[in-house]
Amino acid sequence: MLFRKGTGIASSEITPESVFNQHTQGRRRFLATAATLGAGALAASRLPAILNPQSTVLAETQKLQTVESKYTVPDVQTPFAKATTYNNFYEFGTDKSDPAQNAHTLQTRPWTVQVDGMVAKPITLDVDSIMHYRPIENRVYRHRCVERWSMVIPWDGYSLAELIKFCQPLPGAKYVQFLSKVDKKQMPELPGGYDWPYSEGLRMDEAMNPLALLCFGCYGNVLPNQNGAPIRVILPWKYGFKSIKSIVKLHFTDTQPRTLWNELASNEYGFYSNVNPNVDHPRWSQATERRIDAGFLPRTMPTTMFNGYQDQVAGMYTGMDLKKYF
Ligand SMILES: Nc1nc2c(c(=O)[nH]1)N[C@H]1C(S)=C(S)[C@@H](COP(=O)(O)O)O[C@H]1N2
Ligand SMILES: [Mo]
């Protein structure tokens, strides 16, 4: 079976070899994927620039086996071609079109995620063992960038809470910090002026909320590099920058962790950054958004509180002044 319950990542000090031996199926799929990517690169070079890079050439072997999710919204979806060519992934350049052009240099295997800080047992996990730990749900989520555009994307993963429970944070752990990969060799466009690696953080109750998705794919396939392969989080009630890509570390702590954007401009990017039409960004209103979906032209629509996820998340913030804790 692809999906192992319970003990899936329990046996882990984890080298790629030992994981592949435990997860024969995963190993076969990985080898097949690696082979296909080589062929895909050739095919992609014959496609028009807008369809580049190889992520648009999706082979059967890159498909994820997913189950239905109760968290799906009914909105019209953003086409794959738009969700994979209009990205923010500054490690590969600051223009929206840069990641699709440049992120092919990211090496997504072997890949490990280090878990440390206030946990019962610090551990390093192989990304394939994490991916096979729980059934993968296909969740269509609203995705709202602080820059006022929004998309509706089917993401594939399972609740971050499952991994956190596995990690056994100590009772005193109040926050979890995430760090992205940084490697100048794989990221020749890495811009100066930022305190790399990309970092983000969540309060523990936010991280444990079932809407917080640990994400391995989109549109039923493994994540294209430009969307944060091989592992990222998706937090649909927060502005997009909280949804950190290409994660290599989870750090549990009792103090609010640093985050890249918060440190760079704390007046513009708060720690919480919940979608809130009533609290403007200092340089623009957040009351509306430009929805990029299947339509020929983007549509402007009102932004809703918590991006429309009030029922699931508002309770975590009762009594908090959301203008102060923006
Ligand atoms: N490591 C990393 N993660 C990141 C970013 C980034 O630049 N680097 N950009 C963020 C921002 S601003 C947004 S809007 C989303 C975009 O995700 P998408 O390109 O998959 O739509 O990723 C977030 N995660
Ligand atoms: Mo963003």
209 C-beta closer than 6 A to ligand 1? no
The residue written with tokens 């269509």 in the block is 140
Buried b / exposed e along 74-87 (16+ C-beta atoms within 10 A) = eeebbbbebbbbbb
| Inside any domain, residue 3 | no
Q: How many domains does the chain have?
A: 1
* CATH number of the domain residue 245 falls in: 3.90.420.10
| Inside any domain, residue 11 | no
Backbone phi, then psi, for 160, in 5-degree steps?
Answer: -55, -30
| Inside any domain, residue 322 | no
| Inside any domain, residue 9 | no
Distance 241 CA to ligand 2 centre (A): 4
- Dump pLDDT digits (tens) for 57-70: 445 558 999 998 99
| Inside any domain, residue 83 | yes
Distance 195 CA to ligand 2 centre (A): 17
Terminal C-alpha separation, the chain: 44
Which residues have C-beta within 8 Å of that of residue 275, sequence separation ≥ 6? 144, 237, 238, 239, 286, 303, 304, 305, 306, 307
Atom of ligand 1 nearest to the CA of 198: 1
Whether the CB-CB separation of 45 and 215 falls below 8 Å is answered with no
> Taking Cα atoms as reference points, which of 256, 214, 13 lies closest to residue 121?
13
Kindly calculate the radius of gyration of the chain based on its CA atoms and give it in whole angstroms: 19
- Dump pLDDT digits (tens) for 189-206: 999 999 999 999 999 999
Measured CA to CA, the distance from residue 307 to residue 76 in angstroms comes to: 15
| Inside any domain, residue 6 | no
Distance 200 CA to ligand 1 centre (A): 11
| Inside any domain, residue 246 | yes
Enclosing domain of residue 88: 17-317
pLDDT tens string for the chain (326 positions)? 333 344 344 433 333 333 323 433 443 343 333 333 343 443 443 333 333 334 444 455 589 999 989 999 999 999 999 999 999 999 999 999 999 999 999 999 999 999 999 999 899 999 999 999 999 999 999 999 999 999 999 999 999 999 999 999 999 999 999 999 999 999 999 999 999 999 999 999 999 999 999 999 999 999 999 999 999 999 999 999 999 999 999 999 999 999 999 999 999 999 999 999 999 999 999 999 999 999 888 899 999 999 999 999 999 999 999 999 99
What does pTM read for this prediction?
A: 0.85
| Inside any domain, residue 226 | yes
